[in-house]
Amino acid sequence: MSEKTFYPEYSSRYPLLITNFIKKPMGMYPDDEAIVYRNDDGQYFRLTWREWYERTCQHAHLLKALGVKEGDRVGTMALNHHRHLENIFATCCIGAISHPINVRLSLEHMTYVINHAEDSVIFFDEILMPFVELLYDQIKGSVKKFVYMSDKPGLPQTKIEPLYEYEALLKEQPKTYDWPLLDENSLATLYYTTGTTGLPKGALYTHRQVYLQCIHSLERAGNSVRLPDDPERPNRLVFFAVIPFFHIHAWGTPFMMVYGAAKMVFSSKYEPESFCELIQNEKVNSAVMVPTMLAMLLEYPEVDKWDLSSLTTIAIGGGALPLGLKSKAEKLFPHMRAASGYGMSETMAGVIGAVLKRDMENWPKEEIDKVFVKTGLPMLPAIDARVVDEKGNDVPHDNETIGEIILRGHWITEQYYKDPEKTATAWRGGWFHTGDAAKIDQDGYIIIADRITDVIRSGSEMVPTVLLENLTSNADFVLEATYVGIPDEKWGEIPMALIKKLPGMDVKEEDILTFLQKEGVDSGKITKWMLPVYVAFVDDVPKTSVGKYDKIAIRKKIEEFKAKAKQVRKV
């Protein structure tokens, strides 16, 4: 073979592939513990990197045996565990497209995304079989084969066919695989949005995009500004993979943790007790969560019986991190530091983060905390972010003017799957339009104000609900708070607050108004006309499948919530 065959194809054009990630821990730490999985029965499963790599190779052979070809979509209806991780990597690395299905969507939307993606095979968990049975008659035309994953041997009695047993198929396969050298622009993953503004949209990503996002994210984590009292960075992360794999790549963490040979801890589903048990037993030092998960920990009455001192870092996304929630959590976990981030299905993972600048190192803690709850700065060098007005002009850095976040960069989705019209609508003028409203402060930090569709329009003014939610959550007696607009003949809309109190707190609706007047209006953070007209105490705030406040669901029951509410001021 001539020298020309190798150059420059395997130097300057060497493909950036997800396959490289699975080879690194196998080459460096094959006998280190890689994965700890605790199922609902409290049973533990442990795998070394060698064992997990061999199972991933077997999974690749299994996919081929099922007839999966390059470019085919492979669906998973699964919780977080080693089998799901094997599926994602094996699927991508043989040249097929991994499609983790959001099992918290409505049945209608799940049916839509499976048929729209044209998944050729679906792997599903035992616990999720009832969902698959409900969907079966609507998806059996596009899905050719189904694979049943369980911690117990055998197949169940079901109408689903053809049905295969995962572990039985796996053990028949070789433990090595000759991974293909794919084009780095080959499609690797497909993730659908939650469909809060219509039918879910499919965001596609290539090997190159996933690779670059992972490497850049690891670089940022290693070079972030440290504070004098920060705990030492561990040589090895012990990472609790709490965020579901179907939620925007679990924020890219599966790829980062495999590449970094971290120890990954999985629980079949998030519950405070199992979370605390695993933190204590496995000495977890890092996790990512949505704010509602953190709120659930604060509600857990037996949290004090666990040793959670190893947990030093929690990254928060999927919604704004209220300063009040952060402060309450850090009182409970004095060794922990929580900070905000921002991403969406169309960005693969986080693209804006609450990172410190070097000159903030010796700021007072209360001022640093205010930085950590901002949405943040474009935290990665391959991402550009702006906040623009309706004419596309940058808004001033005055912490007041609201515009829309627009993005561009290496791993912003290039296209919505089979939807050129929505792709063209999102990509305008060379920028991806997120639909999220925000402002920028004097230091250049972006602060989410709302979804553009969620802003309360009262008279000629816009009331940013995220600002009110964050401020209200600072009250000692508030666990969760959200705001929606109630239709009003005079003003168009007026604000209503839905409040979930901390357990044991005896407060009245007027106390919310008093707190906001003192901490918000009197301090200049909000204006008087932003104050809620109605306040409703609720047992639970409706949330989307990924833990965000579900404004659509709230609006559908607006009269029901208004009936529970008390009017606290006149308009």
Q: What pLDDT, on the 0 to 100 scale, is given for residue 546? A: 65
* pLDDT score, position 335: 72
Q: What is the DSSP letter of 557?
A: T
pLDDT of 449: 76
Q: Containing H/E element for 368?
A: helix 365-372
Q: What is residue 269's predicted lDDT score, i.e. its pLDDT?
A: 83
Residue from 459, 541, 451 nearest 493 by CA: 459
**Is the bond leading into 162 cis (omega within 30 degrees of zero)?**
yes
- What was the pLDDT predicted at 230? 76
pLDDT at 522: 84
Query: Among candidates 116, 164, 162, which has minimal Cα distance to 138?
Result: 116
Residue 462 has pLDDT above 70, yes or no: no
**Three-class SS state of 287:** strand
Q: Give the pLDDT of residue 235.
A: 83
Residue 151 has pLDDT above 50, yes or no: yes
Residue 409 has pLDDT above 90, yes or no: yes
User: Would the pLDDT of 193 be above 60?
Assistant: yes
Average pLDDT over residues 290-295: 83
Question: How confident is residue 332, by pLDDT bands cut at 50, 70 and 90?
Answer: confident
Q: Per the structure block, which two tokens stand in for 490? A: 């005079």
Picking from 437, 447, 233, 240, the residue whose alpha carbon sits closest to that of residue 323 is: 447
Q: Domain ranges in the chain? A: 47-205, 456-567
Kindly report which listed range (317-326, 440-449, 560-569) carries the lowest average pLDDT score: 317-326
Give the percent of the chain with pLDDT over 90.
60
Q: d(Cα 485, Cα 491) in Å, to the nearest integer?
A: 10
Q: Is 47-205 in CATH node 3.30.465.10?
A: no
Contact 237, 257 (CB under 8 A): yes
Same fold, 47-205 and 456-567: no
Q: Which residues pair with 473 in a beta bridge?
A: none
Helix axes 19-28, 49-65, angle to 10 degrees: 150
| Joined tokens for residue 262 | 């971290």
Task: Kindly list the distances between the CA atom of residue 331 and the CA atoms of 305, 324, 335, 371, 473, in Å, as whole numbers in the listed order.
Answer: 15, 11, 9, 18, 15
- Say if residue 342's pLDDT is above 90: no
User: Which residue from 329, 350, 341 is spatially nearest to 251, judged by alpha carbons?
Assistant: 350
At residue 46, the pLDDT reads 97
In the chain, DSSP finds a helix count (H) and a strand count (E) of 18, 27
**Model pLDDT, residue 464:** 75
Encode pLDDT of 4-25 as tens digits. 555 667 777 889 999 999 999 9
Residue 196 clears pLDDT 80, i.e. is over it: no
Residue 460: its pLDDT value, please?
Answer: 52
Within its chain, how far is the Cα of 45 from the centroid?
A: 25
199-235 tens-digit pLDDT: 899 999 999 999 999 998 888 777 777 777 777 778 8
Mean pLDDT of the chain: 90
Rama region for 389: left / alpha / beta (φ>0; ψ in -120 to 50; rest): beta
Q: How far lies 296's CA from each of 149, 165, 271, 549, in Å?
A: 29, 35, 8, 14
pLDDT beyond 60 at 463: yes
Contact 332, 276 (CB under 8 A): no
Both tokens of 317, joined, read 């996304």
**Does CATH place domain 456-567 in 3.30.300.30?**
yes
> Residue 554 pLDDT > 60, yes or no?
yes
Residue 74 pairs in a beta bridge with 98, 121
452: confidence class by pLDDT, cuts 50, 70, 90: low
Whole-angstrom Cα distance, residue 367 to residue 67?
57
CA-CA distance, 165 to 156, in Å (whole number)? 9
pLDDT tens column, 262-273: 999 999 888 999
> What's the rounded Cα separation, in Å, for the pair 162 and 445?
53
SS (H, E, C) 317-360: CCCCCCHHHHHHHHHHCCCCEEEEEEECHHHCCEEEECCCCHHH
Of the pLDDT bands very low, low, confident and very high (cuts 50, 70, 90), residue 528 is confident
pLDDT tens track for 385-401:
999 998 999 999 999 88
Of 71 and 319, the one with more pLDDT: 71
Instruction: List strands edge to edge, sheet with 121-125.
Output: 163-165, 145-149, 121-125, 73-77, 97-100, 187-192, 202-206
Q: Which band of pLDDT confidence, cut at 50, 70 and 90, is reported for residue 544? A: confident
Number of C-beta neighbours around residue 228 at 10 A = 6
Please state, in angstroms and rounded to a whole number, the distance separating the CA atoms of residues 559 and 320. 26
- The total of other beta-carbon atoms located within 10 Å of residue 269's CB is 12
Which 8-state DSSP code applies to residue 88? Answer: H
Could you tell me where the beta strands, DSSP code E, fall in 127-219? 145-149, 163-165, 187-192, 202-206
Instruction: In whole angstroms, give the CA distance from residue 111 to residue 192.
Output: 12
Backbone angles phi, psi at 432, to 5 degrees: -90, 125
- Prediction pTM value: 0.83
Looking at residue 459, what is its pLDDT? Answer: 63
Residues 478-506 have pLDDT tens digits of 999 999 988 877 777 889 999 999 888 88
Q: Compute CA distances 168 → 149, 163, 448, whole Å.
A: 10, 12, 49
pLDDT reported for residue 329: 84
Confidence category of residue 1, pLDDT binned at 50, 70, 90: very low
Distances in Å between the alpha carbon of 34 and those of 3, 266, 272, 316, 340? 40, 11, 23, 24, 27
Is residue 123 helix, strand or coil?
A: strand
DSSP one-letter string for 220-270? HHHHS---TTPPPPPSS-EEE--S-TTTGGGGGHHHHHHHTT-EEEEESS-
**Greatest Cα pair distance in the chain:** 84
Model confidence pLDDT, tens digit, residues 93-147: 999 999 999 998 888 889 999 999 999 999 999 999 999 999 999 999 999 999 9
pLDDT at 123 (0 to 100): 98
pLDDT score of 248: 85
Nearest alpha carbon to residue 25 among 264, 267, 281: 264
